[in-house]
Chain A
Amino acid sequence: MTDLDLSRVWLVDPGRGREGPAELVVRRGVIRAIRWLRGPEAEGIDDRGIVVAPAFVDLHAHLREPGNEAAETIASGLLAAAHGGFGWVGAMPNTTPAVDTPGSLELLDRRVLDAGQDLPPGEGTPGVLAWGAVTVSRAGEQLAPLAELAGAGVVGFSEDGAPVRSAAILRSALAYAGMLGLPIVDHPEDHGLTEGAEANEGLVATVLGLKGWPAAGEVAAVARDIAILEDVVRDVPAARLHLTHLSVAGSFELVRAARARGLPVTCDVTPHHLALSDEWLAGARRWAWEALDEAGRRRDPWVDGALVAEPYDTATKVNPPLRSPEDARACRMALRDGTADAIATDHAPHAAIDKAVEFGLAANGITGIETALGVVLAAVDAGELTLARAIALLTVGPRRVLGSSLGPDRIGVGQLAELVVFDRSTTWQVSPGTLRSLGKNSPLLGRALAGRVLLVLHLGRVAYQDGGGAER
């Protein structure tokens, strides 16, 4: 197993709310010593160099296998996750067939084992957290065997890719999953308002002639979900609702109010919704916070020279769509003030053939598990999030949403090492060659991102180790 001496690093332990210069000793995969450095020993170590933190946890990724191995396989998805700094990956059940029985879960487990099989001793893959489908075949009609799935080890249930369509099914699912101590993860979307929609309703969609995707298409669904949860928790206090990839200001207002009433609702935000905006569809490539002026008003990319790429890049097509810069600001606000609990990638790889088509016909999704850290660090560099908060949103935040046993929340002596080491002072180039995911559908291709991941340890084994200069 792994031996490692991390000296003179910036250690972030969000479980303890502590960060600072430190050294860490790992022997045979187990953390043997942690020493926080002070005084002259700490000199010259800051949070802009080598950072050590708990390995990240992604609540929301699509590994595509079985059914769409041209887009991603479990093995390639795990490589991508490790490259992104993740130790645990939440796999959404919208594969073909869907993960709706204990049997379909076995296939997933077997593939994870296969992916780690031929690795040398001391190496491994990130772990998979399986979400089960809420309904049989994700058809929305009959509850899947939730208790059996829970027994087989799922961490909760989701219809992701689509909302839980029927309000009645959602009500039952919240109650039933609550009884099992597991959350329901909803993708909040009111299809009546989003049918055929192509781009966030607003200026960009109007100018580009794309069918608008109204904010109400999300907010109305969030309101419905919270109303149903409020109803269910009266009888089933253990019921829990997690709203994934919230993207508009109105959604956070509802969640904030629901939490103030004590409702057990949590939510996450994707890196692309906090840092990108709909002007990317028109050809802008600046961060969402750069799209607002000092007074917080939207800049006009048609006059200020921000349109540097061709419009209609299908890599920018995603569900929910890239929203306005003001919505992206609301996402960051929610992440700062605790309304949002986690950053989740919604890693959605696609085969080239599903993206090399007309914008309106292109598949929705961004391949994002490898670029998450770089995008979040861009927000940190811009002063939009502190480093400690950003790391908490990638570690203890998602752990608390899961509310389950991924091991202790704090870094401690005697634990199997679950760590990521990255270098904020070096960048890497996002390109089809550097992305491990089979899905190359990233709007960030061609961009240099900070925070090169050097090492990921998962349960004491090396899940990723930087190979040197190949990424530049």
Chain B
Amino acid sequence: MSAGSAIDLPTWRHRHLLDVDRLTWPELETLMAVADRFATATADPATKLDVLRGVNVTILFYEASTRTRVSFEIAAKKLGADVVSVTATGSSVTKGESLIDTVRTLEATGTRMLVMRHATSGAPYLVPAIFGGNVINGGDGWHAHPTQALLDLYTLREALPAPVGSEAGSKAGPGAEAAWSLRGRKVAIVGDLLHSRVARSNLWTLTAAGADVWACGPSTLLRGFEAWAATGAGGRHFTATSDVDAAIRDADAVMTLRIQKERMAGGLLPSLREYAATYGITRERLRGAKPDVLVMHPGPMNEGVEIAPDVAEGPGSLITSQVHNGIAIRMAVLALLDAAGPVA
């Protein structure tokens, strides 16, 4: 079943989505508004649009990630695109095929939009110079995970629709959308900031939305963020602290980050047990937050380490919404970049 190309897209000036650092607040609002329309248009799971009909989308992942890859695949298919997924394992690297060679081959075989995941920070920045189509960063090293930050923002907008001080009022109608922001809201990001592209991208988008952002983790995993917070690079002001109770106090939302076992080998953490005891997000710890605090996690989770199972499945958990909203946001990104056009 096709809904036709009834979706009229606003103008979009970016041909690529490599990072969210230079997206303005009106641009973020536009993205979310377009995501709303795709969410409505595809509310029936059988619906397929033809916004990207005839467009070859390649999802090139140099790093395993079922969740993000599948979400992009579904988003592209719902838009009517032809989708190919390429998982480049270590073997193609050892064979010596460079990223540039791979992208050139993909372009020659018809790829017009490239979604890329790479373990090295900055890798997608190599692509625009040699590729005529649109590039979407599906996560690069520790640097950025733009669509995750966008879907997180979108999820918070859905969960906290009313401006601060008007919770008593009715749910915001369509007219209130333009005025939505996170001003007056406190969002804590807790975990391994140092290695987290999710945290970096969220710092840009959450501060753009006006939130009071607190970055929190043990000092070894927060290195550099204290200085970033102190200088406010990009005029983005946030707070960095190792005091988890201070970070959570009166928070409207707590975003937990995945802790990886490898971090202990580098001497950054004594043990996962100690981490869980000191920084794990539990019901007990959340008592300091707002009573209806929201809890988020980009997945995949280590339940019982960075987040307690009853919190992950508890009333304030947005984890399922995050996964669900990822599709509409990725549809919006794909459609807008396509509308911005190929190389002039």
Contacts and interface: CB of A to CB of B under 8 A. Distances in A.
Interface of A: 198, 201-203, 205-212, 298, 300, 302-303, 310-312, 353, 356-361
Interface string B303-342: 0000000000000000000000000000000000000000
Contact of A209 (B99, B144, B236): B144
Question: Shortest 6 CB-CB distances between A and B: which pairs?
Answer: A206-B224, A312-B122, A209-B143, A209-B142, A302-B234, A358-B120
Given A198-B121, A311-B122, A209 B231 contact: no
A360 B141 contact: yes
B121 A203 contact: no
B225 interface: yes
Contacts of B121: 198, 208-210, 312, 359-360
B234 A303 contact: yes
A361 B140 CA distance: 14
Given A208-B143, A209-B143, A312-B125, A201 B235 contact: no
A212 B233 contact: no
Interface string B213-243: 0000000000111011001111110000000
Contacts of B231: 203, 298, 300
B159 interface: no
A356 B125 contact: no
Most buried by A among B100, B223, B233, B235: B233
Interface residues of B, number: 30
A374 B228 CA distance: 33
Contacts of A201: 223-224
A359 B120 contact: yes
A358 B223 contact: no
Given A311-B125, A356-B100, A358-B126, A206 B227 contact: yes
A202 B226 CA distance: 10
A300 B126 CA distance: 25
Given A208-B143, A310-B125, A312-B122, A303 B235 contact: yes
Nearest to B196: A209
B122 A208 contact: yes
A361 B122 CA distance: 11
10 contacts: A207-B21, A208-B121, A209-B200, A210-B122, A212-B224, A310-B128, A356-B126, A358-B122, A359-B125, A360-B120
A359 B224 contact: no
A357 B93 CA distance: 11
Nearest to A210: B121
Contacts of A205: 224
Contacts of B234: 207, 300, 302-303
A202 B233 CA distance: 12
Nearest to B193: A206
A203 B240 CA distance: 14
A302 B120 CA distance: 22
B118 interface: yes
Contacts of B125: 310-312, 359
A354 to B, nearest CB: 10
Contacts of A212: 223-224
Contacts of B128: 310
A311 B125 CA distance: 7
Most buried by B among A205, A209, A210: A209
Given A203-B231, A300-B232, 8 more contacts: A207-B200, A207-B233, A209-B122, A210-B121, A310-B125, A356-B98, A358-B99, A358-B123
Nearest to A353: B98
